Amino acid sequence: MADLKARFAAIVGTEQVERLDEGVAELGVDEPMTRVSPKTTDDLIEAVKFANTESIPLIPTGNGSAFHLGNLPVEGRVLLSTRNLHATVDYEPRDLTGIFQAGKRLADIQGELGKHDQFLALDPPNRASATIGGIVSTNVSGPLRAAYGTPRDLCLGLKAVMIDGTFVKGGGRVVKNVAGYDMTRMFLGSLGTLGVIVEAAFRLHPIPTDRRCVIASMKSWEAAQSLAAQVVHSELQPLFVELVGETEPTVLVGFGGIAEQVAYQVERVESLAKDAARVEIASGDDFDARHAALLDALDAAHRDDTRLVLRIGTAMTQVLPAREILMRLVDERHFGVQSTIHYPSGAQYAIVKMDEGASGESTVELVERLRKEVHALNGRVVVESAPVEAKRRMDVWGEPTGPLAVMEQLKRRLDPNALLNRGRYLRGIP
């Protein structure tokens, strides 16, 4: 171990190598780990080459804000972090595009772009600490996806280091590009299992000047769903349409843009929400606080070792049926659930509060039963975070949205010795 630390230090410099004595709890590792955080791309390439020659499994990471994602790693004791690669490579406000090194934090990017009244339109729960490389690797998104899409829609290109140290690029910095295969989206969401992303280019947006949110407390989930559906099928152009709550649902519809348009839309939603128990309007800072609250709940749950966070993906019309299945299974176990549903995309997050002392077993069983029933709705269930004990006994991903055989071969071709995030991706992918 000490030897390993020294050998990485010889490549990237002593300051850039740390020993984490306690390991990383979320990864299920309680023995010491080594974190290597190269200061230059060249150093990172050399570190990867070294790991490859010595067959040292690597866990690529940014700031470690998404360790809760994925299955537990197998054998990985070395974290390869991009956190010291945090430059803005290029930002041209008039083109509304920016290129950032992977270790740059989203929060810092927003600060820089904000000076030009622009932003990168992504609002993942871990937005405060997440790096751009992490966001790209996990394709994580938030409520704003209703208006702007996910990283898959906003990322224009990237650069990555393959396990043999080869430096490759996909896409570019322009908003349309069909030259060759789409390597950008191949890396997006690949959780660092194909290569280490070191740079990514994005399409940017102007910050909507006027922001307002309608918050409607509804009497039932059916009423909430019906209001959300009416908004989605109307002429309105919301920034987000969220259904949240435990027993009593609240619908939040956010708008941004020109004051006159925002005002019109807010009024329209108020008139659609006639049967709401209560309607509030939040604007300006209040809007930002409500938006942040949506994210903070999930962010906290991701970090909470007693919570199970599920992402259930279905078509819009299956959102409530899927929730009902979950509620039934959860009630049987006397657990509680807090839902956050990004309605237009059908992405539903459920924070399951388990009894103290609930065994890993019951969690695993819950997930299995839920998966089976949600599959019948052509939906999928991903476990975004779970107590480590439960994780040891389950596959967090479930069925992939494409042929596993092709994915497995892809991994074998690009990382033949399975050194990158071994074990963390889909079952069947080394």
Q: Which listed residue (347, 366, 370, 394) binds another protein by CB under 8 A?
A: 347
332-to-307, 319, 324, 423 alpha-carbon distances in Å: 17, 20, 12, 32
Q: Looking at beta carbons only, is 101 or 139 nearer to another protein?
A: 139
Q: Looking at beta carbons only, is 13 or 206 nearer to another protein?
A: 206
Q: Which listed residue (22, 219, 237, 300) binds another protein by CB under 8 A?
A: 237
Q: Provide, rounded to whole angstroms, the least separation between the CB of residue 321 and another protein.
A: 12
Q: Looking at beta carbons only, is 43 or 384 nearer to another protein?
A: 384
Q: Can residue 397 be called a binding residue for another protein (CB under 8 A)?
A: yes
Q: Is 152 exposed, middle or buried (0-12, 13-18, 19+ CB in 10 A)?
A: middle
HSE (side-chain half, CA atoms, 13 Å) at 392: 8
**Strand locations in 116-188 (E):** 118-119, 155-161, 167-171
Q: Looking at beta carbons only, is 189 or 430 nearer to another protein?
A: 189
How many residues make contact with another protein (CB under 8 A)? 87
Residue among 181, 174, 182, 108 nearest 152 (CA) = 182
For another protein, the binding residues in 408-427 under the rule CB under 8 A are: 409-411, 413-414, 425-426
Q: Can residue 115 be called a binding residue for another protein (CB under 8 A)?
A: no
HSE (side-chain half, CA atoms, 13 Å) at 293: 13
Q: Looking at beta carbons only, is 53 or 237 nearer to another protein?
A: 237
Give the list of residues 6+ apart from residue 104 with CB closer than 8 angstroms, or none: 85, 86, 87, 88, 131, 132
Q: Provide, rounded to whole angstroms, the least separation between the CB of residue 13 and another protein.
A: 26
Q: Provide, rounded to whole angstroms, the least separation between the CB of residue 406 and another protein.
A: 6
Q: Can residue 89 be called a binding residue for another protein (CB under 8 A)?
A: no
Q: Provide, rounded to whole angstroms, the least separation between the CB of residue 10 and another protein.
A: 26
Q: Looking at beta carbons only, is 10 or 315 nearer to another protein?
A: 315
Q: Can residue 225 be called a binding residue for another protein (CB under 8 A)?
A: no
Parallel/antiparallel/unpaired status of strands 97-101 and 196-203: antiparallel
Q: Can residue 3 be called a binding residue for another protein (CB under 8 A)?
A: no
Decide: 187 and 133 in contact? Cβ < 8 Å: no
CA distance 385 to 72: 11
For another protein, the binding residues in 289-318 under the rule CB under 8 A are: 311-318
Residue among 40, 43, 41, 59 nearest 8 (CA) = 43
Interface mask toward another protein for 120-139; x: CB under 8 A: -------------------x
Q: Provide, rounded to whole angstroms, the least separation between the CB of residue 53 and another protein.
A: 19
From its phi and psi, is residue 142 left (phi > 0), alpha (psi between -120 and 50) or beta? beta
DSSP 401: S
CA distance 358 to 390: 10
Q: Provide, rounded to whole angstroms, the least separation between the CB of residue 71 and another protein.
A: 13
Q: Provide, rounded to whole angstroms, the least separation between the CB of residue 200 and another protein.
A: 15
Give the angle subtended at the CA of 300 by the CAs of 296 and 302, to the nearest 5°.
115
Q: Can residue 53 be called a binding residue for another protein (CB under 8 A)?
A: no
Q: Provide, rounded to whole angstroms, the least separation between the CB of residue 369 and another protein.
A: 18
For another protein, the binding residues in 153-212 under the rule CB under 8 A are: 153, 162, 166-170, 172-183, 185-186, 188-190, 194, 205-206, 209
